Structures are given as C-alpha cells and as structure tokens.
Amino acid sequence: MRYRRERYYKAQLRQPNGKPGELGEPVYLNEEEQTKADSLFSKETFNVIVSNKIAMDRTLRDARPNECKSQTYPTKLPNASVVIVFCNEAPSALLRTVHSVVNRSPPNYLHEVILVDDASERPEVGPELDEYVSRVWPDGLVKIIRSKERLGLIRGKMKGARAATGDVLIFLDAHCEATFMWIEPILTRISQDRTIVICPMIDSISDKTLQYFYGGGVAVGGFTWSLHFTWRGVPEREMKTRKSSADPVRSPTMAGGLFAVDRSYFFELGGYDPGMDVWGGENLEISFRTWMCGGSLEFLPCSRVGHIFRAAHPYSFLQKDTHGLNSKRLAEVWMDDYKRLYYIHRSDLMDKDAGDYSDRVQLRKRLNCKSFKWYLDNVYPEKFILDEGVRAYGMVQNPATGLCLDTLGKDEKSQFNLGVFSCQGGKSSSEVFSYTKTNELRREDLCVDAIGRADVSVTLTFCHGHKGNQEWIYDKATKQIKHYTLTVCLDARDLKNSDTVKLQQCDDSSITQKWTLEKELDMN
C-alpha cells in the first residue's frame, strides 16, 4: 500500500510537459502522419496515430463544474474493482484508460483493475500487454483475464464481475480517461444507498484529435421505441428536486459503457442477461430492470470520465443484428404489452428466434418487479407513446406516387430534412409517424416543422409543444395536410425516393397533396 500511495502522490504532482495532447488539448498531425492515420481509421475506428503520440498518463484539467469543487467526501469509503472489457482495441487507448484510473483514484479506494480480453485478434494486446502491465504495475493491481472465445461485451463484463472482489464494480470502456476526483462521488453515493446504480457524467473525447471536451452539461438518458439510447435534457421535475447543480440527477436509462454498482447488489439484481451477444440492448435492459425491481439510476455531475465516441466498432458483430436480437429479449422480458412498440419498428424480428429467455422471466418474478407501465408513469412520464392518445399513427402515404414520409434513416439526434421514400408496407421503422391531438406530426421526440413559405424544405426538429411551426391540420375531406399558420400543404409533386418533401400552395384537386394515415384511432 505504501508503494501505491507514493505512486499516487507522484502522479498528482505530474505537471503538463508541453508534449502533444497534455491537458486534453487536441493533437493535429502533419500531412504524412494524417494520411497514415486515415488509412488506419477504418480498422481502429479513431485516430490511432494521435493516440500513440499522447502520453499514457497525459494530464487533464479538473473537468468538474465549479459547484463540485467545494464538495467534500467521507474519508472512509468502500473500495472498487474497475472492470474494462476490450476486443481489438488500440493498446494506447486501453492503457491510457488504465493509467487514468490508477493515477486518479486514491489507492485505498481502488481495489483492482480487471482487464478482460474478449478474444482480441491483434498481437499487441497479447504477451506485450502482459509484459507492460507487470512492469508498470508490478504490485498486481492490474489484472488481465483472457477469453479464447468471443464473449461479447455483455458476457465479458460478467466474467470480469465474477472475478472481481472489491465492494463496488465500476465498468469502463477501453477508451476512456478518468478525471480528477472521479471516484469519490461514486463511492460516496453508493455507500449512502447500495441500490443506486451510478453513472459518471460522460464527457466527449474527439475520435480525430483526442481533444477532451470540458464543460459538457448534464444530461440524462432516454430511449426510442426502436430501443436505442438517447440523451435528453434534465426534465423540469428533476431540476426542481435538486438544490445544487452538484446534486445527483435521476435518469430513466444509462448509456451502458460507464457505470458503477455495489457488487453484491449487481448480482442480486441478476447481473446481465447472458443470452445477449456482442453489443447492444444490455444498457436499456439493466436500466429498466434496476428501476422496476426496486433500485434506481443516477448520473453524478461531479464525477467526470471522458470517452472516445466512435462512429464504428473495431470488432465483428459475427454477422448478426445483435442490437436487434438483444433488444427483442429485453422487450419480451421487461416491456409487457409495450413490446408492441418495438415490433412496430422491428416487424422483421417478430418471428426471429432470440434464444431462450425463460431464466430472465423467472428472475423478474423472483424479484417481484413492477410493471413497465409503472416505469413509464413514474420514471419517464414524458415518454411519448406513439399509439396512445393520438389521432393516428403509422405510415403517412401519398397513394398517387406510392411515396411515404420517411426519415431516410437519418440520425435522429438533430434537425434534418424530412424525406419521402416508397412505402414499405409497415416494414420500415423510418416511416412510423404519429398525428397527435395537439396537431403535431411526430416521429417520437421529433416534430415535422416548417418555417417560411411554399417551396421550402420541411424538417424534423425536436418538438417544442407550442404549435406554431409544428401545427398541422389534416383535412379529412380533401386528405390534405395543411400547415396551420402558413396555409400551405405537404406535396409529393415531382418527388422521387430520398427527396425532401415540399410545401406547395394548397390545391384540393391535386393528387400529390392527398395523404392517408395508416392507422386512424380518433380523428376528431
């Protein structure tokens, strides 16, 4: 322990040394290096040349909001096992994660770091990694477990968790950087209540320059009915219960990679679903399960960990839609009748075999968990339920052209043009819309929006709930969709697949202005 303490104090004294990337600054390459980085980008899925240039123990600024800086924490806290699973990750990013954890966690709180190698297919994380780890951390603080068979991240984390012996489990991805005082708030909160599952606030590290983006706000997790994770602003009701912006924020869901949980509570709650493969869905599964079975989920604004957000993955998905199938398992086990909403988006999975999940159904019974409706009503009351209390939902179709309103698979995190595509007969998630009683034409949390005049593009933008640009009147007689304030109509004239839908002067004889709503519930 003395050795560890000395090492920790030495790490605290480390000053920025002017080398690339210190303090989380971005690193830019010369042309030759950048060409090399570009050619490696598809394999590594981030800029590995930049990563290799930056010190393994680079300095970072204090990433916490000011309100956190006056917080104090107990001196006696439970200790943690940090579990990091990795498959084909670049060694420099993996090791920077480990260095950041060891250097920024007081030694009495860090019981161990467990690296789980999920059948990586690159030699640099083989014996070379063993050698590095035993040279740099000769006291056995950092352990490596290897799996010959590909486990996927879910079973990989379970393997790490079973090997761990600390009081608290903290899971991290293999391309993170823990910042100053990251662990104290986590351990403090869990010591107050072992049924709270904790997420640090995840800051973004650029996949191109490895710049650490400070000053990221506080957000919470949501989900879409196609069972993808989304970030959302902190809801009003949650804001009201907090005295300081340093206080924890309750969140309906977690992103998945980075979280902490009391080790025995993790297993009491059923760990993870071992029937889930590779990647995807486990984050929503553990979120729903935690809330429904008596626990809760919180994000801590004062605990900040950077994560390299990548557009692709450096490993294979084994030719399976693992996100889809894993999500099917969670929908079947946890979502009761609301699983219908998943199948509206994934009708292709209705008859697909997602394996045996009877153990998980048993688990839910044994833990006496609440219903999914309870979860929606109490934990995520703002969640839009696309087929409840609406006038109509499903495809919005122009019979004359056979075109439907379609998101064209755009990333639904930001504003984009609303497109048209040939109607897929309910087989395409990107054609599912709802027409609400407040006259919104919605795609879950996004609303069809138009500003200006005829002939302008129509967009999908976050719903603001104040009508205006987002109010549409469906005329049952003429089947036109009229923009309420602009008195122009949605028109499919001259459009082909993947075009943006337009507004034109309303003309009730125009067949390209006639739209049918697939499932009408209550058009009054």
- Answer with the entry of ligand UDP, Mn ion, none that 118 interacts with (C-beta below 5 to 8 A by kind): ligand UDP
Closer to ligand UDP at the Cβ: 145 or 408?
A: 145
Residues 296-325 binding ligand UDP (CB under 6 A) are: 310, 313, 315
Q: Which residue is nearest to Mn ion (CB)?
A: 173
By CB under 5 A, is residue 203 in contact with Mn ion? no
CA dist 168 and 283 (Å) reads 18
Rule CB under 5 A: which of 336-355 touch Mn ion? none
Contact 403, 365 (CB under 8 A): no
In the shown chain, the binding pattern of residues 155 to 184 toward Mn ion, with x for contact by CB under 5 A and - for none, equals: ------------------x-----------
Q: Quick one: 279 or 421, whose CB is closer to ligand UDP? A: 279
Residue 411: strand, helix, or coil? coil
CA distances from 345 to 128, 223, 342, 405 (A): 45, 13, 5, 15
Question: Which residues in the 257-316 window bind Mn ion by CB under 5 A?
Answer: 257
d(CA 54, CA 47): 11
Residue with tokens 């939902």: 393
User: In degrees rounded to 5, what are phi and psi of residue 417?
Assistant: -70, 140
Q: Which does 279 bind (CB under 5 to 8 A by kind): ligand UDP, Mn ion, none?
A: ligand UDP
Q: What is the DSSP string of 440-451?
A: -EEETTEEEE--
Told to check if 221 binds ligand UDP by CB under 6 A, we report no
Residues 228-257 interacting with ligand UDP (rule: CB under 6 A): 257
Residues 104-133 touching ligand UDP, rule: CB under 6 A, are: 118
DSSP E strands in 320-466: the ranges are: 390-398, 403-406, 416-417, 419-422, 433-436, 441-443, 446-449, 459-462
Contact characters 15-44, ligand UDP, x per CB under 6 A:
------------------------------
For 118, the 3-state DSSP assignment is strand
445 binds Mn ion (CB under 5 A): no
Residue ranges in 270-299 that form contacts with ligand UDP under rule CB under 6 A? 278-279
Task: Return d(Cα 145, Cα 165) in angstroms, integer.
Answer: 14
Residue 91 interaction partner, one of ligand UDP, Mn ion, none, beta carbon < 5-8 Å per kind: none
Stretch 160-199: interaction string toward ligand UDP, x if CB under 6 A = -------------xx-------------------------
The amino acid occupying position 465 is G
d(CA 367, CA 372): 14
- The nearest distance, CB 156 to ligand UDP, in angstroms, is 5
Structure tokens at 428: 């395409």
**Count of residues binding ligand UDP (CB under 6 A)?**
16
Structure tokens at 222: 């949501």
CB closer to ligand UDP, 85 vs 227 = 85
Element (H, E) at 6: helix 2-13
Sign of the dihedral through C-alpha 450, 455, 456, 457: positive
Report the C-alpha gap between 196 and 206 in whole angstroms. 30
Tell which one of 83, 153, 178, 199 touches ligand UDP (CB under 6 A). Answer: 153
Among 50, 68, 83, 87, binds ligand UDP (CB under 6 A): 87
One-letter amino acid for residue 281 of the chain: G
* Least CB distance to Mn ion at residue 190 (A): 23
Query: What residue ranges bind Mn ion (CB under 5 A)?
Result: 173, 257
Query: What residue ranges bind ligand UDP (CB under 6 A)?
Result: 85-87, 89, 118, 152-153, 156, 173-174, 257, 278-279, 310, 313, 315
